[in-house]
Amino acid sequence: MLSRILIFLFALTTGAYAQTNPDWTQPFPPYRVIANVYYVGSKDLASYLITTPQGHILINSSLTSSPDLIKKSVEQLGFKFSDVKILLISHAHWDHCAGSARIKQVTHATYMVMDADVPVIEDGGKSDFQYGKSADSHFPPTKVDRVLQDGDEVRLGGVVLVAHKTPGHTKGCTTWTLTVVDKGKRYNVVIVGSPNVNPGYKLVNNKAYPQIAQDYEQTFRVLNALPCDVFLGAHGSYYDMLAKYPRIKDGGENPFIDPAGYKAYVADREQAFEAELKKQENGGK
């Protein structure tokens, strides 16, 4: 039993567990989240399609095996995969970006990535501060077509997405926001990049990422300040997608409109970060 637990813990920290997490490859029915924002991901790895009259924006290419699944979801919704003109990601980890090379090849989409994540994307994960040496976290290196800076806008067919740098989890981790109009009302949509401190992350004396703790603090300042009505994220688990999804058919209020859930999530993650930082500053006690 103990050895099984140890294998599990080892796998968790190396990412091997992550790659075989069944919820990451399990298909999930595609659906409209709100207005022109659609979910086209798997049971837990979130991909979003934002449609416009001039083509579509896709956020998160996920695993190397995911593009076929994403394509199928896009087509099930009645859209064309070849109409994806812009490809974005939440951050440069294999579970959100490994499918990018394939999606670029198939759709010829323009790949736009936050500046500090660009080297990691272009070397296939080898320069990642945490997982660079772990081969099972590597992915096909992919050329970035536009380097984004904090606050940059991505525009297509009347849609404006804003790239907020929320670093720490990766150096260029990105939280995407847009406003949508649904049934005559305006909503702020937030797609959280990741505020999580992964197992094994060094927040103190991290030679590969000296400013990691300050970066997480910046991330929480940004996330706390963002107006949020519709709460989404890089994993469905961030915003309890599996519990909310069935309620979309009830015909009542859209379950993804959840400003309180967003606030509670950010507060919970900030507390977890602060506790881990304190623990590491006290030498692990």
- Least distance (Å) between residue 135 CB and Zn ion: 17
Quick check: 207 and 222 in contact, CB under 8 A?
no
Range in contact with Zn ion (rule: CB under 5 A) among 17-25, 93-101, 124-132, 158-166: 93-101
Structure tokens at 129: 């501060």
| Nearer to Zn ion among residue 128 and residue 182 (C-beta) | 128
- Least distance (Å) between residue 63 CB and Zn ion: 12
Angle CA 242–198–281, to nearest 5: 135
Query: Among 222, 170, 165, 173, which Cα is nearest to 201's?
Result: 170
- Least distance (Å) between residue 234 CB and Zn ion: 7
- Selected from 43, 56, 71, 93, the binder of Zn ion by CB under 5 A is 93
Residues in the chain: 285
- Least distance (Å) between residue 47 CB and Zn ion: 14
Instruction: Please give the Cα distance from 97 to 149 (Å, whole number).
Output: 18
Rule CB under 5 A: is residue 269 a binding residue for Zn ion? no
- Pairing type for strands 31-34 and 37-39 reads antiparallel
Binding mask 53-92 for Zn ion (x = CB under 5 A): ----------------------------------------
Instruction: Please give the Cα distance from 225 to 223 (Å, whole number).
Output: 5
| Nearer to Zn ion among residue 93 and residue 102 (C-beta) | 93
Kindly list the residues in this chain that would bind Zn ion in the complex (CB under 5 A): 93
